């Protein structure tokens, strides 16, 4: 972007849930058709403007184009047209980055989007001496950790990488790589990745975010944990305050409320607003309590990113995703798009990005849902979108 950061700049590197995707041949063809139709519409509109009353062109094609039809003149002609970028939802799994006005670099989750995210950070850092990256992990699942050892930032000994997450997230990184404990069990070494701490010369340290009132830290705690941080206390990095909170997912998972000079971004991936029949079921109660925490943190937020992997009809198993055969998604740990929209409206969130897209949802269907959300935004005066990779928001 190149412009100065006023408060914080949020980058979406990966918004894909469960697994990385690559657009199919049909999806690429559909995207191309959209672009081609848009281009042809603009070209013919232009030709219409250039014809006289008898329907003939006033000049030659060369006049319209401003030269012979070769690369330079075609490129210049194209630049004059008002073409809209096709929507790209991206194929990488979860990774977000926040740059702050006081020069902190914060990443949330290291899905496969982290590789490109780390490249951008390295490029920004150049040769500077202070090289600190703060990574907040939501939970240990693979689509939130898989990009970690693919990132160049882990291989430069000048870099200091501070990882703040729950026990499971730290463990997921450490058990295969040994980056905190400098130890890997023989049974797991080399199985998931050829890499380990001796091949990753950056400096890593860990902070476990834990409910220290319920689970106090003790001397026997795991050697992979450098320090502990109580979940109910905010983490302060310069002018930025990061408040973790627990959401509802099969693997313990954290959301984060990030505030800088009164601007608020709430990150809430992998949280299920459970729809069971029994309101007294322990999971139902836990989900409801977690939803209440999300509501408390998201009320009046400027930007909310929230998991909406399913439509309600898919959650209940009446309909499959890109398939007529439905499977119940209860207890899969993800929310419904309809619930996210209703919650964000109630909480007066200004901009809501719905992500953790199901890998089976086609590009065309994402667009269909997105266009409905555009219409919903017009009706409510609040922005709703299907989250798209490469989105950059300045707050």
How far apart CA 375 and CA 378 sit, in angstroms, is 5
Give the nearest distance from C-beta 338 to other proteins in angstroms: 5
Least distance in Å: CB of 255 to other proteins?
22
Q: How far is CA 176 from CA 135, 180, 185, 192, 321, in A?
A: 18, 11, 8, 7, 33
The 8-class DSSP code of residue 273 comes to: -
Rounded to an integer, what distance in angstroms lies between the CA atom of residue 311 and that of residue 330?
Answer: 12
Q: Of 136 and 363, which CB lies nearer to other proteins in the complex structure?
A: 363
Q: Contact positions toward other proteins, by CB under 8 A?
A: 34, 311-313, 318-320, 322-324, 337-338, 341, 362, 364-365, 367-369, 371-373, 375-376, 379
* Angle, helices 337-346/363-380, rounded to nearest 10 degrees: 20
User: Shortest distance, CB of residue 326 to other proteins, whole angstroms?
Assistant: 10
Helix 25-49 to helix 363-380 angle (10° resolution) is 60
Distance CA 270, CA 307 (A): 6
Q: Considering the complex, what minimum distance in angstroms separates the CB of residue 291 from other proteins?
A: 18
Given the complex with other proteins, which of 268 and 321 has the nearer CB atom? Answer: 321
Give Cβ neighbours of residue 117 (< 8 Å, ≥ 6 apart). 11, 13, 14, 95, 97, 107, 147, 151
User: Least distance from C-beta 336 to other proteins, angstroms?
Assistant: 9
> What is the rounded distance in angstroms from the CA atom of residue 330 to the CA atom of residue 17?
16
Tell me whether residue 169 or residue 305 sits nearer to other proteins (CB atom): 305
Instruction: Give the residue with the Cβ less far from other proteins, 6 or 371.
Output: 371
Q: Which residues contact 43 (CB under 8 A, 6 or more apart)?
A: 81
Burial of 277 (0-12, 13-18, 19+ CB in 10 A): exposed
Q: Which is nearer to other proteins, 159 or 351 (CB)?
A: 351
Instruction: Please tell me the distance from the alpha carbon of residue 331 to that of residue 350, in angstroms, as a whole number.
Output: 29
Which is closer to other proteins, CB of 369 or CB of 389?
369
Minimum distance from residue 41 beta carbon to other proteins (Å): 12
Select 229 or 330, whichever has its Cβ closest to other proteins: 330
Q: Which is nearer to other proteins, 212 or 374 (CB)?
A: 374
Min dist. Cβ of residue 350 to other proteins (A): 19
Q: How far is the CB of 386 from other proteins (least distance, A)?
A: 11
DSSP notation for 88-154: ---SPBSEEEEEETT--EEEE--STTHHHHHHHHHHHHTT-S--EEEEE-----GGGTTTGGG-GGG
């Amino acid at each position: 972007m190149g412009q100065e950061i006023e408060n914080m700049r949020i980058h979406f590197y990966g918004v894909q849930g469960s697994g990385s995707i690559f657009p199919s041949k049909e999806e690429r063809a559909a995207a191309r058709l959209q672009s081609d139709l848009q281009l042809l519409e603009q070209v013919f509109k232009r030709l219409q403007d250039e014809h006289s009353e008898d329907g003939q062109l006033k000049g030659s094609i060369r006049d319209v184009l401003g030269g012979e039809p070769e690369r330079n003149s075609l490129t210049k002609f194209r630049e004059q047209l008002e073409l809209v970028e096709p929507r790209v939802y991206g194929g990488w799994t979860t990774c977000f980055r926040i740059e702050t006005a006081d020069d902190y670099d914060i990443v949330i989750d290291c899905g496969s989007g982290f590789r490109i995210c780390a490249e951008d950070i390295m490029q920004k850092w150049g040769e500077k001496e202070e090289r600190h990256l703060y990574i907040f992990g939501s939970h240990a699942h693979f689509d939130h950790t898989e990009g970690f050892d693919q990132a160049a930032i882990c291989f430069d000994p000048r870099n200091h990488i501070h990882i703040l997450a729950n026990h499971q997230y730290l463990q997921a990184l450490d058990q295969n790589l040994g980056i905190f404990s400098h130890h890997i069990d023989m049974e797991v070494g080399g199985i998931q990745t050829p890499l380990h701490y001796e091949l990753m010369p950056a400096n890593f340290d860990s902070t476990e975010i834990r409910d220290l009132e319920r689970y106090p830290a003790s001397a026997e705690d795991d050697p992979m944990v450098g320090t502990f941080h109580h979940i109910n206390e905010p983490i302060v990095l310069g002018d930025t305050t990061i408040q973790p909170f627990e959401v509802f997912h099969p693997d313990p998972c954290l959301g984060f409320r990030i505030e800088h000079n009164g601007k608020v971004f709430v990150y809430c991936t992998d949280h299920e607003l459970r729809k069971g029949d029994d309101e007294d079921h322990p999971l139902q109660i836990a989900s409801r309590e977690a939803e209440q925490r999300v509501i408390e943190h998201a009320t009046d937020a400027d930007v909310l990113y929230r998991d909406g992997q399913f439509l309600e009809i898919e959650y209940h198993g009446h309909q499959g995703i890109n398939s007529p055969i439905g499977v119940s998604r209860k207890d899969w740990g993800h929310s419904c798009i309809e619930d996210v929209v209703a919650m964000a409206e109630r909480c007066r969130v200004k901009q809501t990005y719905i992500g953790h897209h199901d890998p089976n949802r086609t590009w065309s269907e994402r667009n269909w849902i997105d266009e409905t959300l555009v219409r919903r935004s017009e009706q409510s005066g609040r922005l709703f979108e299907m989250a798209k990779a490469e989105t950059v928001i300045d707050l």
